[in-house]
Structure 1
Amino acid sequence: MNLENALRRRLLLSGAAGLIAATALPGTARARTTDVVEPDIDSTALWGARPPQGTIRTLRYRPSKIIVHHTVSANTTDFSRAQAHRHAHWVQDLHMDKNGWADTGYHFLVSRGGWITEGRHGSLPALAGGTTFPLGTHTSGQNDYSIGIANEGAYHDGAVPTTAQWDVLVTLCAYTCSRYGIPSTQLYGHKDYGDTLCPGVYHDMLPRLRQEVEAARTA
């Protein structure tokens, strides 16, 4: 599947919201009454995640920021949904088996083909509710306050995100900001909070991300 087709499957712009109810197909996004596009997110059950190793703590308040990451996986040209699921498994295995964490550290992952997968168990229903979130393990000192969104690939050596990945990241961030009441200005990179190259070129693109997220929220 090429990038344009992947993006069309993953994202319907809010300007077409009036057509969605009548024409929506599996894999497309849905519009809410707020006119912020709700992205289609594959749950942990759908991609076959392992159960957590222990209890995932739920924080009974809203997060105040989003922190963007990259996973330092291969910059694959496989843009399929199956690859997004393989990537989700790879991240979970790394975090649980190598890092010793209870589950995937990130709340959500965005593949290079523009597919979104739920990372930490409970993140998707919490996002839908908009009042709680699972405690993640993605940014030291910030996990109590933030949603962690990771992008498939390595972007610290000059590589850039695909069009589908970027556009779906914007949509996911706009929806997350809308559900939790997070200002568009409160989008950060992992690099802002530690000695790391993460999220690579995404850090330089944060001003653009904030602008496009705000535009998506106010369109």
Structure 2
Amino acid sequence: MSKYDWAPVERSSADCGCRHIHSAFGATDTVFHPVGAAEAPQPMIHGTASWEARPPRQAITLLNRRPTGIVIHHTASANVADGSLSHAKQIARNIQAFHMGQRDWNDTGQHFTISRGGYVLEGRHRSLEAARSGQRHVLGAHAENCNTEFVGIENEGTYIDRLPTTAQWTALVQLCAWLCKQYSMTADNIIGHRQCKSTECPGERFFGKLDRLRQDVSAL
């Protein structure tokens, strides 16, 4: 596994209601939603402009159809303690610099990134726009053999022998639930990167929790 397993070769306050979801650690986290909100509302997502992304080299390819599933990744980077938003934005910039500089790609490969602090950031330009429409799919570069059909979510850290933080897990469940609602997908089609190609990603421990992820997403 490379130092950065961020993607393979590119192809192509008033009262509020609450819902409980179980984290990967067996604890119970409380996620608050406004009364009357639709199921699986959009979580807070920091767009490309907010983290000062470079513009893509060429126009983003926007497919005129919905994706059919979600691929879960880990960045295979350090499991840092810094859970700040500023750190999360720097991670997004680092990934884009790696993909555009060393990989010579058009833009960030994945559609969304989740920091260890639980911040969700847009990755490839127009990913958030496409997801909000619920009808179109940005062609990514996160998983060879799966790019045309799957949304890619990178999770900061290395999860071979450990698990994401509770904040990260909660954000991942919320993001996956919203994407499934937007694109009329079921949680059954949330898969790990290793199911697209030969790789350790998203790490042995994390991969072993994907059934739990599907359950938590379905519950939300």
Question: What band does the TM-score fall into relative to the shorter chain?
Answer: 0.7 to 0.9
Would you tell me which structure has more strand in proportion to its own residues? 2
Q: CA deviation at 1:74?
A: 1.3
State the partner residue of 1:174: 177
Distance 1:204 1:159 in 2: 11
Q: Judge conservation of contact 1:12–1:37 (CA < 8 Å) in 2.
A: no
Matched, 1:13 2:17: no
CA deviation map 1:74-132 (0-9, x unaligned): 11100000000000001101111111110000000000000000000000111111100
Q: CA deviation at 1:37?
A: 2.8
Cα separation, partners in 2 of 1:119 and 1:194, compared to 1, 3 Å? same
Aligned length: 191
5+ long unaligned stretches in structure 2: 1-28
Distance 1:72 1:176 in 2: 24
Matched, 1:188 2:191: yes
State the partner residue of 1:25: none
Distance 1:110 1:166 in 2: 9
Distance 1:78 1:144 in 2: 34
Aligned pairs (5 A) from 1:1-219: 13=31, 16-18=33-35, 32=37, 34-156=38-160, 158-200=161-203, 201-216=205-220
5+ long unaligned stretches in structure 1: 1-10, 19-30
Q: Name the aligned partner's letter for residue 190 of structure 1.
A: H
Cα separation, partners in 2 of 1:12 and 1:126, compared to 1, 3 Å? farther
Q: CA deviation at 1:12?
A: 7.3
Q: Judge conservation of contact 1:17–1:35 (CA < 8 Å) in 2.
A: no
Distance 2:95 2:162 in 1: 20
Distance 1:123 1:146 in 2: 12
Distance 1:188 1:149 in 2: 11
Distance 1:36 1:68 in 2: 19
Where has structure 1 moved over 2 Å in runs of 4 or more?
11-14
Distance 2:191 2:157 in 1: 18
Q: CA deviation at 1:186?
A: 0.4
Distance 1:215 1:159 in 2: 24
Q: Name the aligned partner's letter for residue 76 of structure 2.
A: V
Q: CA deviation at 1:13?
A: 2.6
Q: Judge conservation of contact 1:52–1:103 (CA < 8 Å) in 2.
A: yes
Aligned residue for 1:171, secondary structure, equals helix
Would you tell me which structure has more helix in proportion to its own residues? 1
Cα separation, partners in 2 of 1:12 and 1:39, compared to 1, 3 Å? farther
Q: Name the aligned partner's letter for residue 188 of structure 2.
A: T
Distance 2:31 2:168 in 1: 15
Normalised to the residue count of structure 1, the TM-score between the two structures is 0.84
